[in-house]
Chains A and B, each alone.
Chain A
Amino acid sequence: MEATSALKRTPLLAAHQRLGGKLIEFGGWEMPVQYSSIVDEHHCVRRAAGVFDICHMGEALVTGPGAEAFLNETLTNDVRKLAVGGGQYSQMCNERGGTVDDLYVYRLAPAEYLLIINASRIEVDVAWLQDRLCASAHRSGVIFENASGRLGAIAIQGPRVADFVNQLFAGPSLAGTAVAAATDLKKNQIGAWNWNGQRIWVARTGYTGEDGYEVVAPAEQIEDIWNRTLAVGHVGCIQPCGLGARDTLRTEVCYPLYGHELDENTSPIEAGLGFFVALDKGEFVGRAVLVGQKTNGTRKNSVAFRMTDKSAPPRPGYAIFANGAKAGDVVSGTQSPSLNVGIGLGYVPPEFAAPGTRIEIEIRGRRFAAEVVKKPIYRKP
């Protein structure tokens, strides 16, 4: 780990070390991959509760009378559908329909939006958004701030989180969605609470397929929120969880990870995310290409699969074969801790994308049988 001095560190690095987290490099950040074990932490989130450091994620604030119109011409989803305190998943495309990033948009106030963007894309996104803003008719009515340095975030996930979240963030919300208690937030809604006199934002969302919350707060409050979450969450058997479990959890429910399912040459339509592309909202970057793909079809489609042969776990980069010929590549793959079978996501031509299609995955020169399955691969029983 000689190179770690060059890595970016979250406000929780000391906490991870104290908790026995095994640190790795991820997207230029020094992050915990696991504490106890990936499988243990995975089951903990599926059955009880886990807390994740997601301070590496980026935050951008888009404010002003032109914010809504600017975001709507830049992002794929329809921001106008958001009430104050609402949130939505969206993509940001280039002119070719390729994905610059996938992100969450929250409407914090009538003319104030918070974007949660991927760690590995902060610099690219900020440059992209600033360029688009310079070219926008709404530029005089928009203030853009990259708040990634001053804000941090944690995710609290699992079926038992609702048992203690009201103790953690007590009383009614102070802004965003007006609720009497944090458990009254509905999926994707965000509300504000006070933490040591500072405003923090609590959204009912996550990246695990479980109920849960993501908390965005000033960086200097993050360690205190993390520690209190572990203390209060004791009633829900909470454990700290690393990026390893975060990846197995999101792969089981087929949530995309930028750089795997999505990149600048892959569109949200190809990725199977058309639900988040509002083609009817008016002009936005990439729309013409996306309309064409929706109308005429795509060259490749995202598929989920599970191994039907006993094999090593599928991994990103392994070849997918169909009808005896190479058809595509695995982009995410692992041993599913919930299903105890190899699972993955990949891209194949549309003719091989239907659930039930027999495919093969090439692992170290040998091919093993797999089957295309409906997303998500794992469903809560």
Chain B
Amino acid sequence: MSSQVPAGLRYAKSHEWVRLEGDVATIGITDHAQHELTDVVFVELPAVGRQVAAGEACAVVESVKTASDIYSPISGEVVAVNSAVADNPALVNTAPYADGFFFKLKVANPAEVEALLSPEAYAAQIGA
């Protein structure tokens, strides 16, 4: 099973990805994570305006079998959530790096993004 690890993103060991555009970061879970979960049936998202710390559990993704916490890889304020994924959780499986994203943060500390794993380092972690 070869999971996609796109270039241009940063990754958390806990299988979230971060795409930085200006001072806004889009966050989702990786292709590897959705493969492991399979059949995502429910996504719970944080409230817009919530301040989250790096490593804080702030969303939940549920497959048929289990509920898993999603940790924000970086600190910041939630400025948008993906209501499409709440309505259609299968987007996490079909488009984990695009329409299946979870939420967007106004980044508090850009250095936290730099400290995340590079695509190469994450690929090595998952053995891809």
Give chain A's interface residue range (CB within 8 Å of chain B).
Answer: 10 to 19
Chain B 36-68, CB-CB to A under 8 Å as 1, else 0, gives 001101101000000000000000101111010
Chain A 17-51, CB-CB to B under 8 Å as 1, else 0, gives 00010000000000001100111100000000000
Q: Could you tell me how many residues of chain B have their Cβ less than 8 Å away from some Cβ of chain A?
A: 12
CB–CB A334/B64 < 8 A? yes
CA distance A360 to B53 in the complex (A): 32
Query: Is the CB of A248 closer than 8 A to any CB of chain B?
Result: yes
Query: Is the CB of A313 closer than 8 A to any CB of chain B?
Result: yes
CB–CB B60/A34 < 8 A? no
CB–CB A244/B64 < 8 A? yes
CA distance A135 to B94 in the complex (A): 61
Q: Chain B's nearest CB lies how many Å from the CB of A197? A: 40
CA distance A335 to B65 in the complex (A): 8
**B63: A residues at CB distance < 8 A:** 38
Q: Chain B's nearest CB lies how many Å from the CB of A309? A: 12
CA distance A218 to B42 in the complex (A): 43
- Asked whether A37 and B62 contact (CB < 8 A) given A312-B44, A315-B67, the answer is no
CB–CB A335/B42 < 8 A? yes
CB–CB B65/A33 < 8 A? yes
**B60: A residues at CB distance < 8 A:** 312, 364
**A364: B residues at CB distance < 8 A:** 44, 60
By beta carbon, the residue of chain A nearest B38 is A37
CB–CB B67/A38 < 8 A? no
6 A–B contacts from the bound complex (CB under 8 Å): A38-B38, A38-B64, A248-B64, A312-B62, A315-B67, A335-B62
B residues at A contact (CB < 8 Å)? 1, 38-39, 41-42, 44, 60, 62-65, 67
Known: A37-B39, A312-B67, A334-B65. 15 other contacts (CB 8 A): A33-B65, A34-B38, A38-B63, A38-B64, A39-B64, A40-B39, A244-B65, A312-B42, A312-B44, A313-B64, A313-B67, A334-B64, A335-B41, A335-B64, A337-B64
A residues at B contact (CB < 8 Å)? 20, 33-34, 37-40, 244, 248, 311-313, 315, 334-335, 337, 364
